[in-house]
Structure 1
Amino acid sequence: MLAKGPHVIQLMEELAPKHYAVPDDKIGLQLGTLSKEIKNVLIALDVNDEVADEAIRIGANLIIAHHAIIFRPLSHLQTDTVAGRLYEKLIKHDIAVYIAHTNLDVAVGGVNDMMADAIGLRGLAPLERLHTDKLKKIVVFVPEEHLEPVRQALFKAGAGSIGAYSHCSFHTAGVGSFLPEAGSAPFIGTQGKLEHVNEVRLETIVPQSLEKKAIQAMLKVHPYEEVAYDVYTLDLPGRSLGLGRVGKLPEPMALDALCELVKAAYNVPAVRLVGDKQRLVQKIAVLGGSGGRYVKHALFAGADVLITGDIDYHTAQDAEAAGLCLIDPGHNVEKILKHGVAEYLRGKLQEKKSATGVFESEVNTEPFQFV
């Protein structure tokens, strides 16, 4: 069975919630409709004429891309312009375009985590903190024999993580009482008779971003017609989320060796370098896209190197004077998201037994050539 458009986007927004995006970022559905079954999804960095042709060729009626195709308000839609011809082609072939940009940069498991993981960074933290994912406590009362299915459903939905520990919960035994009224269909007991049942109070914590998902998962496996549960907001710091990542290599390495690692990990033929090639470095900051304005953030974080794209001349001079090395592999390294997002979405759809296919764009949208 094919997945519906809203369901595919729901899965995408579980990875990259829209509220993670920076203000005024152009994200979400930009063209077409999601009110349809999705045959195939194409994951792309950019959407241009070649990518649109690729989508047509593979039968994709949804493109999920990183960079917006409508960035400024349109004053007209003329189909004899480059942009107009692209929009016309997409509309004629019923191809919707959905954008996940800075929300995917910020997301756990998003672009910046993919970049950091690709070069083996550990102990990651955001380079610029934008959000704190507040913690909630879920308390639910469960019949003893149904404790494990409910607990595992909560864990699978993302509950129960505290720092580097997962599957965290606490439960205590007790006795629940209830009287099924007229019109009820009790799992235990009969209408009009007061019941006493051996129950367990199960409690765990969940980030606010996963609260709805966790509650839905719990309700789905809970045996009761009416589930007794509570949700509390905790006065505790949750996970910090933001742009970029800073972490450490397993061992120090020479800067020129790091350049070779970056070229291999990000599949780029060359990088621009600021710094002594023989300098040993270990604490590394990465930021996908254009990150010149994050030099100060990298310095404040104590990074030896900032890896990002679109570094300008004067920013490079300032970083060099401050003792920060720079590796510029280009803006296009964000293409790493194509494989990561496709793997994520493909796995989620397979879990749902969906026949919707997910493909990585094979079009190279890098405008620069190295000669």
Structure 2
Amino acid sequence: MKIKDIINVLESVAPPALQESYDNAGLLTGNREEKCTGILCTLDSTESVIEEAIAQKCNLVIAHHPVIFRGLKRITGKNYVERTIIKAIKHDIAIYAIHTNLDNILTGVNGKMADRLGLINRQILLPKNAVLKKLYTFVPQSHAEKLRQALWDAGAGYIGNYSECSFNTEGTGTFKGGANTTPFVGEKDKLHYEKEMKIEVIFPGWLQSRIIPALISAHPYEEPAFDIIALDNQHAGVGSGLTGSLPEPMEEKAFLNLIKQKFDLQVIRHTPLTGRPIQKVSLCGGSGSFLIPNVLGANSDIYITADIKYHEFFDADGKIVLADIGHFESEQFTIELLYDILVEKFPTFAVLKTAVNTNPLVYFA
């Protein structure tokens, strides 16, 4: 098994195209073509984690946070980032980060948080737009069904919870093959009229490298005609944050105690309680204060996230409880998420969860 085989699995779950523009997810050190000796899953790549990988004979560290986030002009070991990179390279340890692309899928970081709280009826809080594309193609009516199926098998045709979606229009196509052609229908050097079907399907942009080969393989023409256009539509299945519901309403303090229990918290920073029961819950792992306006628009009863600044707490305005549970604390179960994804695909391979607590904060009680 090569490192690229593990990366391919991760990127099929959380495509790199879904990371935010400021992010630096992907392979940060190492060679994709190297044989993988073992995988260590972690939230952060630190010197201690790299030392653990060396001791466990794992030459691939899968981390949520990219240890290289901003540009490095020198690598001299003056801080933990540079020391971590030096140690990883010196010991042939590959570091792969799967960050905001894992945040931005419904079953990712936020989905794992929702699992802990038992939320149902889950939806993306702020869906991404401009990630969908539309394909138009033209095919003889006799081959339309085969081509549609090939496109669906490649991942096209999903709209929300509906699959195998397409629009089909009958029409007449014309073409004249040149001297070096072998037309599927008609004769070379002679204008031909063919009853064709125009097929339209929507697909996520990151699947284009699969969609086009599937089209070409299933299409009977030597030169299939097709158009691809970018759409500004939102993709309901990807984006920031998550909103769900508790099966039954809970009293506010009881729900805060549930959060403390499920996330093993010593403290929760929160705004004053509203006196209303909690049922609709919004959450976002990591720094999620940018979503407060969306949470208020969703009429949620509580918003669970991290890194809320002093003045941002005022935005609750008595309408909602804002609960800051800590950055590490909100994302800690991402390690388990990564482990589960990889073990399901590689059940007999060495996949480990770090034993290093990388939380940089401690609480004095």
What TM-score do you get using the length of structure 1 for normalisation? 0.75
Name 2:26's counterpart in structure 1: 28
Name 1:216's counterpart in structure 2: 213
Q: Does 1:304 align with 2:301?
A: yes
Q: 112, 129, 149: which one pairs with 2:110?
A: 112
CA offsets 1:200-238 (integer angstroms, 9 cap, x no match)? 65432223343333223444555665444443455x723
CA offsets 1:150-188 (integer angstroms, 9 cap, x no match)? 4344334332122332222245678888888777688x6
Distance 1:39 1:197 in 2: 56
Alpha-carbon contact 2:103-2:110 (below 8 Å) kept: yes
Distance 2:141 2:116 in 1: 44
Distance 1:191 1:61 in 2: 59
Name 1:327's counterpart in structure 2: 323
* Shift of residue 345, structure 1, vs aligned partner: 5.2
Distance 1:306 1:16 in 2: 24
Distance 1:216 1:88, change over 3 A: same
Q: 234, 244, 257: which one pairs with 1:238?
A: 234
Distance 2:33 2:284 in 1: 35
Q: 60, 85, 88: which one pairs with 1:87?
A: 85
- Unmatched segments (≥5 aa) in structure 2: none
Name 1:122's counterpart in structure 2: 121
* Shift of residue 249, structure 1, vs aligned partner: 3.2
* Shift of residue 47, structure 1, vs aligned partner: 0.8
Alpha-carbon contact 2:75-2:86 (below 8 Å) kept: no
Q: Describe how 1:268-283 pairs up with structure 2 within 5 A.
A: 268-272=264-268, 274=270, 275-276=272-273, 279-283=276-280
What is the SS of the residue equivalent to 1:262? helix
CA offsets 1:286-326 (integer angstroms, 9 cap, x no match)? 1111334544443343222110123455544x256534213
* AA of the residue aligned to 2:320: L
What is the SS of the residue equivalent to 2:160? coil
- Unmatched segments (≥5 aa) in structure 1: none
CA offsets 1:8-40 (integer angstroms, 9 cap, x no match)? 545544544445444433433333333434444
* AA of the residue aligned to 1:329: I
* Shift of residue 52, structure 1, vs aligned partner: 1.4
Alpha-carbon contact 1:51-1:361 (below 8 Å) kept: yes
Alpha-carbon contact 1:290-1:331 (below 8 Å) kept: yes
Distance 2:140 2:349 in 1: 38
* AA of the residue aligned to 2:123: L
Distance 1:360 1:147 in 2: 48
What is the count of residue pairs matched by the alignment?
A: 359
Over aligned residue pairs, what C-alpha RMSD do you find? 4.1
Distance 1:277 1:56 in 2: 50
Alpha-carbon contact 1:259-1:271 (below 8 Å) kept: no
* Shift of residue 94, structure 1, vs aligned partner: 1.2
Q: Describe how 1:285-296 pairs up with structure 2 within 5 A.
A: 285-292=282-289, 294-296=291-293
Alpha-carbon contact 2:156-2:211 (below 8 Å) kept: yes
* Shift of residue 57, structure 1, vs aligned partner: 4.1
Q: 130, 133, 147: which one pairs with 1:133?
A: 130
* Shift of residue 364, structure 1, vs aligned partner: 2.9
Distance 1:291 1:192, change over 3 A: closer
What is the SS of the residue equivalent to 2:233? coil
* Shift of residue 331, structure 1, vs aligned partner: 1.0
Distance 1:81 1:340, change over 3 A: closer
What is the SS of the residue equivalent to 1:322? coil
Alpha-carbon contact 2:274-2:319 (below 8 Å) kept: no
Distance 1:175 1:300 in 2: 49
What is the SS of the residue equivalent to 2:323? strand
Alpha-carbon contact 1:50-1:363 (below 8 Å) kept: yes
Distance 1:232 1:71 in 2: 32
Distance 1:230 1:70, change over 3 A: closer
User: Identity of aligned pairs, percent?
Assistant: 36
* Shift of residue 199, structure 1, vs aligned partner: 6.9
Name 2:65's counterpart in structure 1: 67
CA offsets 1:339-361 (integer angstroms, 9 cap, x no match)? 334444566x66xxx99765444
What is the SS of the residue equivalent to 2:332? helix
Q: 96, 102, 108: which one pairs with 2:100?
A: 102
Alpha-carbon contact 2:125-2:295 (below 8 Å) kept: no
* AA of the residue aligned to 1:162: I
Name 1:162's counterpart in structure 2: 159
Greater CA drift, 160-169 or 55-64: 55-64
Distance 1:3 1:224 in 2: 37
* AA of the residue aligned to 1:238: Q
Distance 1:135 1:75, change over 3 A: closer
What is the SS of the residue equivalent to 2:228? strand
Distance 1:359 1:200, change over 3 A: farther
Q: Describe how 1:145-184 pairs up with structure 2 within 5 A.
A: 150-171=147-168
Greater CA drift, 59-68 or 147-156: 147-156
